[in-house]
Amino acid sequence: MPAFEYRSLDHRGKVRKGVLEADSARLVRQQLREKGWVPIEVGEASDKKQSTNLMEGMSSRGRLKSAEQALITRQLATLIRSGLPIEHALSAVARQSGKDRVERIILAVRAKVLEGHSLANSLGEFPKAFPEMYRATVAAGESSGHLEQVLDQLAEYLETRHDTGRSITQAMVYPIFIILFSVLVISFLMTYVVPKMVEVFEGRGQTLPMLTQVMISVSHFFRDWMWLVLLIGVVGSVLFTRALREPAFRMRVHRKLATFPMIGTLLRAGESARLASTLGILGRSGVPLVEALGISEQVIGNLAIRDALKQAANRVREGGSLSKALERSGYFPPMLVQMIASGEASGDLDQMLTRAADYQERDLNNTVTTMVGLLGPLMLLLMAGIVVLVVLSVVLPMLDMNAIFNR
């Protein structure tokens, strides 16, 4: 089915450009009118021209969200398993996407496939949308002749990773709200309530309790110097962000984060889960272990852990075992190392890596859920404690005044 480039006006009067497949230009215009758009220009695009135009149009925006990536992979796996050729499967996925940006990416990939490129090489035109791990897995599926099975495994991995990230994000909403609310309440108390209290007691010449004096000092600081604190915070953030561009400084920061109490534990657990999942899916797809380790470096965000993984890959390349290489780095949890050692001993490393990834994901989710569940009540207790201190700083001078009058 030929492809046609179009320019049209949508229902808001905005110019839209893209590519649609149809038997004729008239049918393309009809499709545009059915969407409520006004066709301006419709012309047939050759495969080469279609590929070039789409690549140029998407070069700066070729990125997919994790949910979109997982959905596309699942749809491709289903369509290819049903016996549909790859180019027709890509065309169907593009039509079902419902988003112009996603449709243009998929049609651009299809155009490269029609030019004779493999699916993995075609996906390589969009490295932001399809990272190296994704492309290597697809390439392994194509070379083994089991592309639909590999895509199923890849879709399951992407869906699990997306669900985990969404669960953590949703769990963080309540604590973040409590923190912001607490900051606003405390700022209000220190900026407006305590100064009013000071005005009441200033003219009486009364000796104020220590707690009241401390609260008054804190209030004066909030009122007079908070702008300076905020300014220093903004300037410090900008300077720190610029310093992170230096590889040596960024490595030092990442190494500190990886070994920091609590934060480092969560960070290492998350990176270990991603590593085990990536190695498992690459291994089941037929990618050699040394090559899989090199690809897995791309999914590790912490530079210190990534460097440790690179050194582990070198030891494996020299004939060492993966479990000992990871244990020597000191960054990976003992349970992960033991499960990998068990997999190496039994000859079922790929399956054991998948189990290890599931274990690490569950452990990480449980830890994060527990910490997030505690964070909200702790913030409420902190805010309640500060409110109580403010109330006491007001009540204590009044009690002193009543004691003087009763004498």
Quote the pTM value. Answer: 0.62
Question: CATH homologous superfamily for 164-407?
Answer: Type II secretion system (T2SS), domain F (1.20.81.30)
The pLDDT confidence band at residue 297, using thresholds 50, 70 and 90, is confident
How do strand 15-21 and strand 3-9 relate by DSSP bridges?
A: antiparallel
Cα separation, 173 vs 395, whole angstroms: 36
Q: What is the pLDDT of residue 401?
A: 65
How confident is the model over 110-119, as a mean pLDDT?
85
Structure tokens at 395: 């009540």
What confidence tens digit (pLDDT) does each residue in 349-399 have? 888 888 888 888 788 778 777 877 787 788 778 878 887 887 787 777 777
Q: Are 81 and 153 in contact (CB under 8 A)?
A: no
- Round to whole Å and give the CA distance between 399 and 332: 59
Question: What is the average pLDDT value for the chain, to the nearest integer?
Answer: 79
**In which band, very low, low, confident or very high, does the pLDDT at 198 lie, cut at 50, 70 and 90?**
low
> Would you state the pLDDT for residue 56?
43
Phi, psi dihedral angles at 287 (to 5 degrees): -80, 130
Structural contact between residues 353 and 276, judged by C-beta atoms closer than 8 angstroms: yes
- Does an H or E element contain 4, and which? strand 3-9
pLDDT of residue 405: 54
Mean pLDDT score, 334-347: 88
CB 245 within 8 A of CB 213: no
Residues 6+ apart with CB under 8 A from 217: none
pLDDT of residue 280: 82
Beta bridge partners of residue 16, listed in sequence order = 8
Exposure string over 126-158, b if 16+ CB within 10 A, otherwise e: beebbeebbbbbbbbbbeeebbbbbbbbbbbbb
CA dist 87 and 3 (Å) reads 12
Rounded Cα gap, residues 397 and 52, in angstroms? 78
Query: Rounded mean pLDDT of 302-330?
Result: 88
Q: Which of these, 261, 280, 252, lies nearest to 340 by C-alpha position? A: 280
> Amino acid identity of 342?
S
Give the CA distances from residue 93 to residues 28, 97, 185, 263, in Å, rounded to whole numbers and listed in that order: 18, 6, 50, 40
Q: Which residues contact 352 (CB under 8 A, 6 or more apart)?
A: 339, 340, 342, 343, 346
Under a CB-based contact definition with an 8 Å cutoff, are residues 80 and 151 in contact?
yes
Query: Which is more confidently placed, 284 or 82?
Result: 82
SS3 content of the chain, % helix, strand, coil (to 5): 75, 5, 20
Give the confidence band of 231 by pLDDT, cuts at 50, 70, 90.
very high
Place of tokens 């039509």: 95
Q: Are 322 and 316 in contact (CB under 8 A)?
A: yes
- Looking at the chain, the whole-number percentage of residues with pLDDT higher than 70 is 89
The residue among 184, 159, 177, 200 whose CA lies nearest residue 77 is 159
Inform me whether the pLDDT recorded for 136 exceeds 70: yes
pLDDT-derived band at 238, boundaries 50, 70, 90: very high
| 231: number of Cβ within 10 Å | 10
Provide the b/e sequence for 340-362 (b: ≥16 CB within 10 Å): bbebbeeeebbebbbebbebbbe
Q: Are 397 and 212 in contact (CB under 8 A)?
A: yes
Mean pLDDT of 5-32: 75
Average pLDDT over residues 242-261: 89
pLDDT of 103 strictly over 80:
yes
Domain ranges (residues) in the chain: 1-45, 164-407
Bridge partners of residue 8, in order along the sequence: 16, 39
What is the mean predicted confidence (pLDDT) over 234-260?
90
Rg of the chain over Cα atoms, rounded to whole angstroms, equals: 30
- Helix locations, 260-348, DSSP H: 263-284, 289-296, 303-317, 322-329, 334-346
Provide mean pLDDT across the span 82-89.
Answer: 86
Q: Using pLDDT thresholds of 50, 70 and 90, give the confidence band for residue 403.
A: low
pLDDT at 236: 92
Name the strand (E) or helix (H) holding 15.
strand 15-21
Bigger pLDDT: 191 vs 79: 79
Q: Which letter does DSSP use for residue 163 in this model?
A: H
- Residues pairing with 6 in the sheet: 18, 42
pLDDT tens digits, residue range 36-81? 787 777 776 544 444 444 444 444 456 788 888 888 988 988 888 8
Joined together, the tokens standing for residue 233 give: 């915070």
